[in-house]
Amino acid sequence: MSFRSLIQDMRDEFGSISRHTLRSRSHRSAGNASRAAAAEPSQAMDQSCWSQLPPELLREVLVRIEASESWWPARKDVVSCAGVCRTWRGIMKEAVRVPEVSGKLTFPISLKQPGPRDGTLKCFIRRNRTTQTYYLYIGLTEALADDGKFLLAARKCRKPTCTDYLISLDKVDMSKGSSTYIGKLRSNFLGTKFTVYDAHPPYDGAVVSKSRSARVIGLNQVSPRIPAGNYPVSHISYELNVLGSRGPRRMNCVMDSIPASAVEEGGKAPTQTEFPLSSLDSFPSIPFFRSKSARIDTASQSSTQKEDRLVLKNKSPRWHEQLQCWCLNFRGRVTVASVKNFQLVASDDNGSGSQENDKVILQFGNIGKDLFTMDYRYPISAFQAFSICLSSFDTKIACE
């Protein structure tokens, strides 16, 4: 039997286990369903031929599956293998590299990890004006937008003095009390200043915000097993520009959780490797997330407290005499002129070289009605990039 046939047989075996589990669950009573469902996959695996496979060969098979399924939707096979049992999960977690190195998004924690150093991850955002919701997808093809793989969702919540954008891993449930809530973006009344809050500590030693909302959530609304901390990870500000008298928007982003040295050669940005232990039940449909430890990569422990923070600014557009408008080179990824379009680069205040300052870290722009592209790279994550782009959607009384 060839190795390719071995892998295909493995997938078929796992598929039959999954189907058998689903059929069994549908015939059980409600009282016994949860207990039996938990035992069913392990029992099926014990009866499978794969339970007797030598560990070295099993590792080789799983590693090859991870290498062969390089992009979505085929990448779901990697996620399925990681959900079989603890042994398979451990092997897959070792095989799957972080987006910084691989340029791939596999597990939900990837959305909190910095993007690739070489190249960008090309995503797009769909806006629903009626429900005031926003959905982030990663593209499956080279097209500007396609069916996409869903990543994150956000819902706009207006308040008397501010506006919140609640960000979730779930398309439907975007409430703070949800187990899939991962953070929020909050604006001031004028829409000129924004703060991005992470529900989980972005690095070792991160300090939770002592805002009133954090105390209310922690005490009254959310189960103690669900983390609802407000850890500020970035501050976004738009320069006052009444009636557009000063030209296009000017924005400035201070990344509280990323040191300025991250954009330099050999620089490091904090990388979350697992969700905290308190979110054991945050992903009931993704069993490979349940782990005994909650770790954060702390190679430069609390480096953002010891070093200057990374500052991003929007790249200044140029005035086009023939078109009589401000222009930026989006390399074909933006097709509709809009005040919301922007490119973020490292600010000169970071002290990095001019070549690093010219590298676009985040790009956002309009490509159609309620459709926008979002391309990002190291050292920011998909969660941070999505939050910054949401700030561009908000109404800015004093900036337009």
Task: Report pLDDT for 327.
Answer: 87
Mean pLDDT score, 376-385: 97
Whether pLDDT at 72 is above 90: yes
Lowest mean pLDDT of 198-207, 231-240, 340-349, 377-386, name the range. Answer: 198-207
Mean pLDDT score, 232-249: 77
Binning pLDDT at 50, 70 and 90, where does residue 33 land? Answer: very low
Strands 251-259 and 231-238, by their bridges, are antiparallel
Binning pLDDT at 50, 70 and 90, where does residue 195 land? Answer: very high
With pLDDT > 70 as the criterion, what percentage of the chain qualifies?
68
Whether pLDDT at 24 is above 50: no
Please give the residue that has the higher pLDDT: either 293 or 256: 256
Helix extents (H) in the chain: 3-26, 30-47, 55-68, 76-82, 86-95, 99-102, 212-216, 303-306, 354-357, 382-393
With pLDDT > 90 as the criterion, what percentage of the chain qualifies?
46
For tokens 């960008």, what's the residue?
120
Whether pLDDT at 46 is above 90: no
The span from the CA of 201 to the CA of 22, in Å, is 36
Cα–Cα nearest to 385, from 312, 335, 332: 312
**What pLDDT digit, counting tens, does each position of 320-350 carry?**
878 777 888 999 999 998 889 999 999 887 6
Whether pLDDT at 179 is above 70: yes
With a CB cutoff of 8 Å and minimum separation 6, the contacts of 268 are: 259, 261, 262, 299, 300, 303
Binning pLDDT at 50, 70 and 90, where does residue 2 land? Answer: low
Length of the chain: 400
Task: Report pLDDT for 12.
Answer: 62
Phi first, then psi: what are they for 303, rounded to 5°? -60, -30
Please give the residue that has the higher pLDDT: either 113 or 290: 113
The helix-helix angle for 86-95 and 55-68 (nearest 10°) equals 50
Task: Report pLDDT for 177.
Answer: 86
Mean residue pLDDT of the chain comes to 78
Phi first, then psi: what are they for 399, rounded to 5°? -120, 0
CA 302 to each of CA 22, 145, 309, 312: distance values in angstroms, whole numbers, following the listed order: 45, 38, 11, 20
Task: Report pLDDT for 214.
Answer: 44
Mean pLDDT score, 34-42: 50
Mean pLDDT score, 4-32: 52
Highest mean pLDDT among 21-30, 133-142, 224-233, 298-307: 133-142
Angle at 27 between CA 23 and CA 28, to 5 degrees: 115
Whether pLDDT at 247 is above 90: no
The distance in angstroms from the start CA to the end CA of the chain is 67
Report DSSP state, residue 50.
G
Q: What is the pTM of this model?
A: 0.80
Mean pLDDT score, 67-76: 91
Q: Is 232 helix (H, G, I), strand (E, B) or coil?
A: strand
Phi first, then psi: what are they for 197, rounded to 5°? -110, 135
Highest mean pLDDT among 246-250, 291-295, 383-387: 383-387
Binning pLDDT at 50, 70 and 90, where does residue 397 land? Answer: low
Whether pLDDT at 216 is above 80: no
Whether pLDDT at 354 is above 50: yes
CA 97 to each of CA 20, 69, 76, 198, 236: distance values in angstroms, whole numbers, following the listed order: 31, 13, 15, 23, 30
Angle at 52 between CA 46 and CA 54, to 5 degrees: 140
Structure tokens, 58: 């099993």
Mean pLDDT score, 305-315: 82
Whether pLDDT at 29 is above 60: no
Please give the residue that has the higher pLDDT: either 298 or 112: 112
Task: Report pLDDT for 307.
Answer: 63
Please give the residue that has the higher pLDDT: either 56 or 228: 56
Whether pLDDT at 121 is above 90: yes
Whether pLDDT at 308 is above 70: yes
- Extended beta strands in 336-387, E state: 342-346, 362-368, 371-376
Whether pLDDT at 50 is above 90: no
Mean pLDDT score, 169-196: 92
